[in-house]
Structure 1
Amino acid sequence: MTHLKDYFIDLFQQLNFSASWAEITSISIMLIALFILAILAQIITRAILIKVIHRLLEKTKTEWDDFLIKRKVFSALAHLSSAFIIYKMYDFSGVVFISIILNGLVRIYFVIIFTLALVRTANAVNDIYQTTPYAATRPIKGYVQLVQILIIFLATIFVISILINKSPLGLFAGLGAMAAVLLLVFKDSILGFVASIQLSANNMLKPGDWIEMPSHRADGTVIDISLTTVKVQNWDKTITTIPTYALVSESFNNWAGMEESGGRRIKRSISIDMKSVRFADQPLLEKLSHFHLLKDYIAQKEKEISDFNQKLQLAEGDIYNGRRQTNLGIFRYYLQAYLKQNPNIHQEMTFLVRHLQPTEKGIPLEIYVFSKDQRWANYEGIQADIFDHILAIIPEFGLRVYQNPSGNDITEFIHHQAQQHTD
């Protein structure tokens, strides 16, 4: 570079340039030539070396090198050719100022290249991990982001040390005084890191889980877990972003247990008008005996009741001291038998047809079973079919569903009263 500079100075002086202008012009040309040479080196590296590396890696059977290509790790390293050329040729003898500036710039350039390559490599590591079976339950994206933050932080320290021409060790020694400021700046990252460790260690959450968190208006599938946030795609297709540490400090429902159990709970009740509950007389028993699901039950129950009443030696026609079947009791058994033969109901999980506490709105009869199909639309269809049948069959047992009177009920009542008065 020194000989080349002297050559240009002599050349321009022969062209009647002054000594100062000859030196400035020669240095400018050499700087332009240096940067052009660096750019050409990078272009050649990308065009030849990178393409060769990519073709070789694409032919391998392993997948991890494909992720390095996808994340452009080698493209970042291609800048090294330009950096080495500038580093080897920056020394302009006698021009200390330019040499110092080029020295600093090329060192910063090296830091940026390695930082970019390491950050992209970290992303490739996460992609490689996603192909393993552990990724479904133990995501590491939060840890990868933490490593990337540390890499960028260290790179920033090195750049600052180059700019002020101080040792990076001295800057690290002075970080103790900045600890409080750093804790404040990186508060969310630190909290998110600790929370992500707890979520992963306790297997509390993983991508694909259905969670419900009313405090953050989240009800949907987890699509991403990062260092500071968890993204949930709600059922209305909106995206809710929740701070990672909020999932540890607050409560949320994770429906993964339901999905893994093999069943989905149906827990719904229907209110029976208590005034319609009565003893089953003979005509009703004969009518219900035609039901395939009730024929054997009614016959067996009637025999059991008859034997019991005979032991009490009750007088004929005594309906108050003996046992009798009720229309609600028969209906409850009918629902049990109906659900037992339903192929969509899980028979090995909790199975209940029960009464709840009577209220001013009647006596709730609750269905507490599990459907085999966990898919939302199918689950709702199974549940709807069951209660469609209940509402349609319940009058056959002499029962009525409790329902608050509507305007149509009042109109019919007035019309009925008016007709009776006319008669």
Structure 2
Amino acid sequence: MRKHSFQYTLETPDIFREKALSWASSFSHCTYFNNNNIFKYPYGPFDNIITAGAQQIISFGDRNHFEELKQHYQNQPDWMVGYFAYDLKNQTEALQSGNPDHVEFPDIYFYVPEHVLCFKGNSLYIESTGAPDAILDAINNMAEGSNDKMKAPILNQNTSREQYLDTVNKLKNHILEGDIYEINYCIEFSATDATIDPLSTYLQLTRLSPTPFSVYHKFENRYLLCASPERFLKKHSRKLISQPIKGTARRGSSSYEDEIIKQKLRTDEKELAENMMIVDLVRNDLARSSETGTVKVDEMFGIYTFKQLHQMISTVTSELRADIHFIDAIRNAFPMGSMTGAPKVKVMELIERYEQAKRGLYSGAMGYITPSGDFDFNVVIRSLLYNAQTKKLSFQVGSAITYDSIPEQEYEECLLKAKAIMQTLGHHD
């Protein structure tokens, strides 16, 4: 347990935080939850938190991993930082995963950090197994930033445009036949023999695409560089909050054009139908863990603007039932509806059949659990996964396919979502 804690006032919090990230990345484990100062978001963005060092790596055996995590927390309530990969679906339903896995991340990974740095405005709160003053000195002595140049990796797109269009038409046929209503279909870009500097690559990604649920996560030789705009699930006291995204539009070249594009998104029947279907699914998922009558939609079809694009976001909340453990609330909603579709189980079977890569951490959830049992997890999208040991990297993008989908437009949406990562890796238009 962390025995020492102290609060400090920072003169230049942004500069200090970047130095703190450089300091943290020298450890075998570190995580940076980064809201990029995007505060106009219902129920707030991620708190700015840096964790460093692994006091304990939580071990998982062959049992249900959600149950194992719950048992660990009950035995030792503490900060726990980590992720649930998409393929944990196989432990919540009778499903399997057989597609190629290019970066080889485990299906679940959590650690108990040695040091926790929480940033609130100009204040820094440190919890540590060591002396907080020594940590402060070590961070202040770090050089600012990282400007390492990298050679742009050669990317392989695992699904050609023609394959993509053909698959979308097949999925639309499943919808026509009544198998499903909506499915999130994804394609992968990957590279072998890739050498990148993960920290400078992440900082460049956040400059190009600052988002409220961004994460830099290092564990041993594996890295998640995440520019996610989406929250999967948050718990604050007894309140559960889920904020699915369905509906994407490009940014305009002027504020006038932006307003036209936003209005078009706000009234697009296909995008509204997508969003509504997933809101219904999320309401159903939360109801499994919530007090009767408490599930409600706080905001429907909210339009939020980020540097790269506009998104349609809805907010669903509920009150956690007294007899439901918070880990079970996560399990009952996992994987998130915005990255699967409806009905969820049938859709996940079709995802396995038609996609050409294992999703792994992509479309999973990355976040933290506090000692008091609150938590906040994002949806791992707009994210680069890198295995420094094997020199392999991967990122995936997708879109929701409905009966009204136009395959060519869905393909263009995938490329729009890939744009910031492509630019980060040195691939420009």
Coarse TM-score class (shorter-chain normalised): under 0.3
Q: TM-score, normalised by structure 2?
A: 0.23
Q: TM-score, normalised by structure 1?
A: 0.23
Greater helix share, 1 or 2? Answer: 1
Q: Computing the radius of gyration over CA atoms, which structure comes out larger, 1 or 2?
A: 1
Structure number with greater CO (CA < 8 Å, separation at least 6) is 2
